[in-house]
Amino acid sequence: MCSILRNWYDDRIKTVGRPSLKRTVQEIDAVVAELRALRVKSLENRQRRDRPPKLPSRKVLVTIADGLSAVLFPNRLGLPELTSESVDYYVGHTLDVTLRELLVQVRRELRFTSGVDAPGNADREQATAITQAFAKRLPHIRILLESDIQAAYEGDPAARSIDEVLVCYPGITAITHYRLAHELHCLGAPLIARMISEIAHSATGIEIHPGAKIGGSFFIDHGTGVVIGETAIIGQHVRLYQAVTLGAKRFPMDEHGSLVKGNIRHPIVEDDVVIYAGATILGRIIIGRGSTIGGNVWLTRSVAPGSVISQAQIRNEVFDGGAGI
C-alpha cells in the first residue's frame, strides 16, 4: 500500500472505525478515474487528444535564473571564495552548464507550442539559435543592469553601497529577471520568459511582463505591488514606487466575445519621469518627459512633458461641473 493510501486508511480508522480496505481502495480508484476523465475532456477542448508535450520546468528555470545572475555578477552573486584568477573559469563553467539547461527548456517550449512531443531537427536548430543569440546578449544585459543599480543607489538615500543595492533590493531582483526574460521573449521563447518573470513576481511582489520595453537606469523603490503590462514602454531614468500600476484601461472583445490578444493597451512613460506610490496609469496614454505623478493618482489621459499631477488636480478635472459622474 502506498504511503498516501496508508495515511488515509489510518486516519479513517481513528475517526470512523475500521472500514473495509477494499472499499477505501475503491474510493481512491473512483477519484483517479474521475480526474482522468477531466484530463481527457480538457485535452479534447485543446484539440490535443494524445499525450500533451511537456512544459518547461519552473524548478529548472529557477536554477537557470540564479546561474545567469551569478554569471553577470560572479563576485557578488556567485561563489564566495572566488579569486581574480578563478573568476573567469567560474563564469565560463557556470555559463556552459546554464546554457545547456536553457537549451533543453527552449526545446520543450518549442515542442509544446507546436503540439508535437517528439523533437525534430527544426526544433533543435531553432532552440540552439535562440540559446546562442541569448548568450550574445548577456554583456548588453549586464550594461543595462549596471545602470539600474546605479540609479537605485543614487535615488535612495538609505542605500549605503552599490553592493547593498545589488544583493538586497527586490526591485533589482525583479529588474534582473525582467531583463533576462525580455531578451528571451524577443528571441522567440515567450513562455520561458513569462515563467522567469513570474519567478521574480513570486519572490518580490513586483510583476513586470517580459514583453514590456524598459530603458536603462530604471529604479523601482520598495516595489511591492508594482504591475507593468505587456505593451508598456518606459524610457530612460524612470523611477517607480510601490503599488504603481501601468495597466490597460479596457479589454476589447472580438466578434465571438473573446478577449483580443496582443493589442497595444498600456502606457508610454517617457524619460526622467517619477511615479509615486499607489498611482494607477491606464491605457495607451503618454506620460511626458520629466513629469511627476503623485501618489494614488488615477490617470487615464496623456500629460504634457514637465507636468506635475496630484490627486487634487485629477479630482477637479473629473468632477468639475458634474463631469465624469
Give domain status of residue 37, yes or no: no
Q: Are residues 189 and 248 in the same domain?
A: no
Q: In which band, very low, low, confident or very high, does the pLDDT at 312 lie, cut at 50, 70 and 90?
A: confident
Q: Are residues 193 and 231 in the same domain?
A: no
Give domain status of residue 33, yes or no: no
Give the mean pLDDT of the chain.
88
Give domain status of residue 23, yes or no: no
Give domain status of residue 284, yes or no: yes
pLDDT at 46: 58
DSSP conformational letter for 22:
H
Q: Are residues 232 and 180 in the same domain?
A: no
Alpha carbon of 105 to those of 68, 109, 190, 195, 273: distances in Å? 14, 6, 12, 11, 37
**Nearest of 305, 314, 304, 263 to residue 284 by alpha carbon:** 263
**Nearest of 147, 151, 202, 208 to residue 175 by alpha carbon:** 208
DSSP per-residue string spanning 225-292: T-EE-TT-EE-SS-EE-TT-EEE-S---B-TTSPBPPS---S-EE-TT-EE-TT-EEESS-EE-TT-E
Q: Are residues 192 and 83 in the same domain?
A: yes
Q: Length of the chain, please?
A: 325
Question: 207: part of which helix (H) or strand (E)?
Answer: strand 207-208
Boundary of a domain, candidates 146, 173, 205: 205
Q: In which band, very low, low, confident or very high, does the pLDDT at 318 lie, cut at 50, 70 and 90?
A: very low
Give domain status of residue 49, yes or no: no
pLDDT at 321: 44
Contact at 8 Å (CB) between 118 and 134? no
**Domain count within the chain:** 2
Q: Are residues 201 and 233 in the same domain?
A: no
How far apart, in whole angstroms, are the C-alpha atoms of residue 294 and residue 229? 20
Q: Are residues 248 and 276 in the same domain?
A: yes
Question: Which pLDDT tens digit goes with each residue over 54-109?
Answer: 899 999 999 999 999 999 999 999 998 899 899 999 999 999 999 999 999 999 99
Boundary of a domain, candidates 174, 205, 236: 205
Other CB atoms within 10 A of residue 223 CB: 22
pLDDT at 11: 59
Give domain status of residue 21, yes or no: no
pLDDT at 325: 28
Q: In which band, very low, low, confident or very high, does the pLDDT at 38 lie, cut at 50, 70 and 90?
A: confident
CA torsion 111-113-117-123 (nearest 10°) is -30
Q: Say if residue 15's pLDDT is above 60.
A: no
Domain range enclosing 107: 54-205
Give domain status of residue 147, yes or no: yes
